Amino acid sequence: MSKQLVSWEEIREDFENKETSLLLGKGFSCAVWNRFKDSSLYQEASLQNNGGSFLSEEDRQIFDKLETKNFEKVLATLSTTKEVNEILGAQAHSEILLKIDERYQNIQRSLIQAVERVHIPWRDIPPEVFTTVKKEILKYQNLFYTSYDLLIYWSLTSDGYFEGFRDYFSRNEFQEKSAIEDKRLRVFYIHGGLHLYSEGEKILKITNKGENILEQCKQLWTDPNFRPLFMAEGTWRDKLKFIRNSDYLFFAYNRLKQNTDKLVVLGNPLNLDKSLLDKNHDFNKHLLDAIVESSPKTVAISITDDGDVAQQIKYWEGVMKPDDIQFFDEKSHPLCSPGIRLEAD
């Protein structure tokens, strides 16, 4: 018999401690700012009057054909299409493969710039939101964050105090051995972030405070010497390839694979389709594989109420040991509750 859904309040005492890690996903970002949702990103990426890259008519036709606004689904489909064409000998018609690459790269660039443009400004976030977020995440030993936005970074640094956490950057450069392994929160941006970029072999972090980070992002991305460390790949295989090509991301991913602590999975970080009926819902299978491989002591998994709850629970019980799982209502957690939402104009 499947387990029942409980509120976070009923189980929080067992998980809010330094023996627990938190895997936090886009559901948190959207709970704070709904313009991070796929539909909003698609709308922004379709605009031609914002400068930079935007979705072409061909790009939008691909989205329409697939009946989605999900960038990951479109990019995954293009990646698979290219692989199939190569198997069928499309090298003899290289213009086809080139066309697929062009569309993939343009959709990818459009997504990255759309995230930056829809991002809530620092000045529009009330101090109490930063305080709530920081208070909640500092309860854990490790934070594995899969979104690209600045909400976690801003919250941790909003009060001017950099105590209580480590992110393995010394000044502004990634140094694997720069953090002392103590009880302070260890932060890992599993899929990169707007504030991270690479210059040659170096992985760097923008350390400007507040609003200046978004402005510096715009300046950096116009310089060919700098590349944003930002996951914008489709299939989990492409994501894993991207991770392996970055010393920082590979380090962060391996820490998730080695995590044997208790684990809270919040905000749908695996980006599973809400109904679980989408056959292409394994965009983040590499994260699921890492969780299964690490075999944490026990796992608390958030479930959304905008899908078949029983089906979501059944799915999780099918991929993990049912005896080691607790299921809780996502909106009952302070980081995804309606009370944390900021309304877009």
DSSP labels for 92-115? Answer: GGHHHHHHHHHHHHHHHHHHHHHH
Contacts of 270 (CB under 8 A, 6+ apart): 25, 283, 284, 285, 287, 288
pLDDT tens for 301-341 read: 998 876 678 887 887 887 777 678 899 999 999 999 988 88
| Two structure tokens written together for 57 | 């008519």
Residue 126 CB-density burial (10 A; 0-12 exposed, 13-18 middle, 19+ buried): exposed
What's this model's pTM, rounded to 2 decimal places? 0.84
- pLDDT tens-place string over residues 168-218: 988 788 988 766 777 889 999 999 888 888 888 889 888 766 667 877 777
Q: What is the pLDDT of residue 48?
A: 72
DSSP at 5: P
Helix, strand or coil for residue 42? helix
Express each pLDDT in 216-274 by its tens digit: 777 776 777 778 888 877 778 888 988 998 899 999 999 999 988 899 999 887 766 55
45-104 pLDDT per residue, tens: 888 765 667 888 999 999 898 888 877 788 888 888 888 877 777 665 678 788 888 888
| pLDDT band at residue 276 using 50, 70 and 90 as cut-offs | very low
Band of pLDDT at residue 279, cut at 50, 70 and 90: very low
Question: 198 pairs with which residues across the strands?
Answer: 203, 227
- Tokens at 64, concatenated: 């329409």
Cα–Cα distance between 189 and 145 in angstroms, integer? 5
Which one, of 145, 140, 135, 179, lies nearest residue 263 by Cα?
140
Q: Name which residue leads in pLDDT, 96 or 281.
A: 96
pLDDT in tens, 103-130: 888 888 788 778 878 888 888 899 999 9
Phi, psi of 262 (to 5 degrees): -65, 155
Give strand ranges (E) for 259-341.
Answer: 262-266, 299-303, 325-329
